[in-house]
C-alpha cells in the first residue's frame, strides 16, 4: 500500500525529547515500512525514518520558532508539498490537526475543484478539541476521524464528527527490555507477542482477534522457571536504593505535578520528576515546584527534578522506579507515559480521568482512584501486591496485548483497507 503520513512540525519524528504525537507517528511509520508498505513521511527536515522523507521545515519548530506567521508558513508549505504528491498515495493519514483540514477537504473535492486525489484520507485526533478550533472541526466533520481512546471519542463531538474507529496508540516495547522484565522471561523460554494474536481497540469497528487468549506463562518450561524469572526481575529492581516514585510528563497543573509531590510526601517515599516546563507553565513551576526544590516549602520526602529528558534517561529512571505517579486533573486522551511505564514493568498510580481506566487494570497493573486521598489509601493497602515480580510481568503483558506499536500498525492497516473500499464523502 502507498501511504502518506502527515506529521506535525513542532518536533522532529521521532522527537529528540518531548513529543507524544511525533513519537506515535514515528512508530507507526517504521512498523508500516517493516511490513513492506511504501510510506512517505511529511515531517521536519531533521526527522529520521526508513520511509521517504519530505520535509516541511528544516527542523522541529518548537525550540526554534515562536508560534505565529512563520510557523504557519512552514505548515502551509508542508501541506502544499503533500498536495503536489497526493496522486501517489492510496492512503493519506493526517496527524497535523485542524490546520490541515481545509487542504484535505480540497483533496477529496469538497470545494468543487474536482477530486485532486483518489487517496482515502483519515485524521487521527491526538489532542482534545479546544474551543478556538472547534468550528473548523465541525465544518469538516464529514471527513474521516480516528479517536485514540473511547473516552476521547465520547468527549469530543461524538455525534458531529465522522469517527471511523478507535485505535489506541502504541509504543516500542523492546525499548524497555533492560528494565528487568522481558529479558528474564526470554531466558525461561517465553517470547512476548510471538504467535499471539492481538486484541485491540475497544469499540473499534473492526476486529483483529478480540477474545483471543494471551497467556503470560504458557510458553514457560515449568512453574519453577516462571518463578525464577520473576525473582531475577525483582532482584534487579531492588538494586536501585530500594526504589523511588516517578513523575513523568509536562510540569503543569493539568498533569498534577504538585499533586505528585503531595502523594509522595503522604506515603513517605522519594520522588523523581522529569518533564519539560513550557513558557506558559513557568509561573506554575516557580510558585509550586521551585520552592519545594529549594527547601523553601518543606515536604516529607526527597524531591529531585531532573528536567526534560531523552528516551535513554527515561528508561534509566523507569528501571529504578517502584511506581509512576499520574495524578492528572484533566480528561487524559490516552497517556503514553502509562503504556511506557507498564512496558517497563512499573505499575501506575493514577486518577480516574479520561482514558486512564482503559489503560490500567485497577489492582492489577496499577491503581485508579477518584481523589488524591484515595490514591494514597489504595497505595498503602495494595502496593505490596503490585510491587511483586509477577505483578510487574502482568504490566508488561498488558502493553504487549493492547498497546504495542505493531498492534497499532495492524489496527491502522485494517482501517486503511476498509476506507479504500468506501467512497469519500465530499460534505456537499
Same topology between domain 2-170+408-420 and domain 174-181+241-403: yes
The residue among 134, 138, 163 whose CA lies nearest residue 151 is 163
The DSSP letter of residue 128 is P
Choose the weakest-confidence range: 103-107, 187-191, 233-237, 381-385: 187-191
Instruction: State the Cα–Cα distance between residues 67 and 280, nearest whole angstrom.
Output: 13
| pLDDT tens profile 247-278 | 999 999 999 999 999 999 999 999 999 999 98
pLDDT higher than 80, residue 11 = yes
Does residue 206 carry a pLDDT above 80? no
Percent pLDDT > 90 in the chain is 71
Domain 2-170+408-420 class in CATH:
alpha beta
CB 375 within 8 A of CB 349: yes
Nearest in space to 352 (alpha carbons), one of 380, 327, 378, 334: 327
- Span 287-301, mean pLDDT? 95
pLDDT of residue 424: 61
CB-based contact 156:146 (threshold 8 Å): no
On the question of pLDDT at 305 being above 80, the answer is yes
Model confidence at 350: pLDDT above 70: yes
Summary mean pLDDT of the chain: 85
Cβ contacts of 277-282, under 8 Å, gap ≥ 24? 277/250, 277/251, 277/252, 277/308, 278/250, 278/252, 280/252, 281/250, 281/251, 281/252, 281/253
| Cα 304 versus chain centre, distance | 25
CA-based R_g, the chain, Å? 22
Average pLDDT over residues 168-190: 67
Q: Report the pLDDT value the prediction gives residue 311, as an integer from 0 to 100.
A: 86
Q: DSSP characters for 144-168?
A: EEEESSHHHHHHS-TTTSEEEEE--
Range scoring the smallest mean pLDDT among 61-65, 189-193, 256-260, 274-278: 189-193
Q: Is the pLDDT of residue 99 over 60?
A: yes
- The angle at the Cα of 139, spanning 133 to 145, to the nearest 5 degrees, equals 80
**pLDDT tens digit string along 108-140?**
774 444 455 688 999 999 999 999 999 999 999
Biggest alpha carbon–alpha carbon distance for the chain: 68
How many Cα atoms are found within 13 Å in the side-chain-facing hemisphere of 20? 20
Q: Residue 337 pLDDT more than 70?
A: yes
Superfamily for domain range 174-181+241-403: Glycogen Phosphorylase B; (3.40.50.2000)
Q: Quick check: 192 pLDDT over 80? A: no
Q: Which has the closest alpha carbon to 170: 415, 410, 413, 406?
A: 406
| Distance separating alpha carbons of residues 33 and 241, to the nearest angstrom | 42
State residue 220's pLDDT score. Answer: 33
User: What is the pLDDT averaged over residues 316-341?
Assistant: 96
Domain ranges for the chain, please list them. Answer: 2-170+408-420, 174-181+241-403
pLDDT of residue 64: 73
Q: Is 194 exposed, middle or buried (0-12, 13-18, 19+ CB in 10 A)?
A: exposed
Query: What pLDDT score was predicted for residue 108?
Result: 77
Q: Is 45 exposed, middle or buried (0-12, 13-18, 19+ CB in 10 A)?
A: middle
Q: Tell whether the model's pLDDT for residue 211 goes beyond 50.
A: no
> What is the signed CA dihedral for 182, 184, 186, 192, rounded to 10 degrees?
-30
List the 91-94 sheet strands across, edge first. 52-55, 38-43, 2-6, 91-94, 120-125, 144-147, 162-166
- What band does 69 get if pLDDT is binned at 50, 70 and 90? confident
What is the reported pLDDT for 112? 47
Judged on CB neighbours under 10 Å (0-12, 13-18, 19+), 200 is buried
How many Å from the N-terminal Cα to the C-terminal Cα in the chain? Answer: 29
In the predicted model, what is the mean pLDDT of residues 32-57?
97
Question: Which pLDDT band, with edges at 50, 70 and 90, does 373 fall under?
Answer: very high
Give me the residues paired with residue 341 across strands. none
Amino acid at each position: 500500500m502507498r501511504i502518506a503520513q502527515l506529521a506535525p512540525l513542532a518536533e522532529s519524528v521521532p522527537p529528540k525529547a518531548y513529543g507524544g504525537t511525533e513519537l506515535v507517528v514515528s512508530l507507526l511509520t517504521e512498523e508500516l515500512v517493516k511490513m513492506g508498505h511504501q510510506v512517505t513521511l511529511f515531517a521536519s527536515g531533521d526527522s529520521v525514518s526508513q520511509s521517504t522523507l519530505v520535509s516541511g521545515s528544516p527542523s522541529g519548530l518548537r525550540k526554534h520558532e515562536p508560534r505565529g506567521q512563520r510557523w504557519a508558513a512552514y505548515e502551509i508549505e508542508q501541506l502544499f508539498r503533500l498536495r503536489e504528491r497526493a496522486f501517489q498515495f492510496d492512503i493519506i493519514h493526517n496527524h497535523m490537526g485542524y490546520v490541515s483540514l481545509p487542504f484535505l477537504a480540497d483533496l477529496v473535492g469538497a470545494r468543487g475543484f474536482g477530486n485532486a486525489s483518489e487517496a482515502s484520507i483519515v485524521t487521527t485526533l491526538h489532542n482534545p478539541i479546544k474551543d478556538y478550533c472547534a468550528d473548523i472541526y465541525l465544518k469538516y466533520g464529514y471527513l474521516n476521524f480516528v479517536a485514540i481512546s473511547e473516552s476521547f471519542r465520547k468527549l469530543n463531538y461524538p455525534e458531529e464528527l465522522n469517527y471511523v474507529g478507535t485505535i489506541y496508540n502504541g509504543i516500542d516495547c523492546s525499548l524497555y527490555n533492560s528494565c528487568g522484565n522481558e529479558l528474564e522471561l526470554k531466558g525461561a523460554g517465553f517470547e512476548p507477542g510471538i504467535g499471539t494474536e492481538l486484541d485491540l481497540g475497544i469499540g473499534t469497528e473492526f476486529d483483529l482477534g478480540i477474545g483471543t487468549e494471551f497467556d503470560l506463562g504458557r510458553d514457560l518450561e515449568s512453574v519453577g522457571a516462571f518463578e525464577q524469572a520473576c525473582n531475577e526481575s525483582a532482584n534487579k529492581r531492588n538494586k536501585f536504593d530500594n526504589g523511588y516514585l516517578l513523575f513523568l510528563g509536562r510540569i503543569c497543573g493539568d498533569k498534577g505535578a504538585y499533586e505528585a509531590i503531595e502523594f509522595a510526601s503522604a506515603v513517605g517515599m522519594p520522588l523523581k520528576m522529569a518533564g519539560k516546563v513550557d513558557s506558559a507553565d513557568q509561573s506554575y513551576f516557580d510558585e509550586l515546584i521551585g520552592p519545594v526544590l529549594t527547601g523553601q516549602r518543606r515536604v516529607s520526602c526527597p524531591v529531585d527534578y531532573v528536567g526534560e529528558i531523552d528516551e535513554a534517561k527515561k528508561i534509566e529512571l523507569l528501571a529504578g522506579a517502584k511506581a509512576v505517579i499520574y495524578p492528572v486533573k484533566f480528561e487524559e486522551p490516552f497517556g503514553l507515559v502509562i503504556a511506557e511505564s507498564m512496558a517497563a514493568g512499573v505499575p501506575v498510580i493514577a486518577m480516574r480521568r479520561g482514558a486512564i481506566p482503559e489503560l490500567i487494570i485497577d489492582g492489577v497493573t496499577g491503581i485508579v482512584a477518584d481523589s488524591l486521598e484515595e490514591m494514597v489509601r489504595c497505595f498503602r493497602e495494595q502496593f505490596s501486591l503490585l510491587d511483586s515480580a509477577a505483578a510487574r510481568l502482568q504490566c508488561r503483558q498488558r502493553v504487549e496485548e493492547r498497546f504495542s506499536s505493531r498492534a497499532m500498525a495492524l489496527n491502522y492497516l485494517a482501517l486503511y483497507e476498509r476506507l479504500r473500499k468506501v467512497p469519500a464523502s465530499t460534505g456537499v
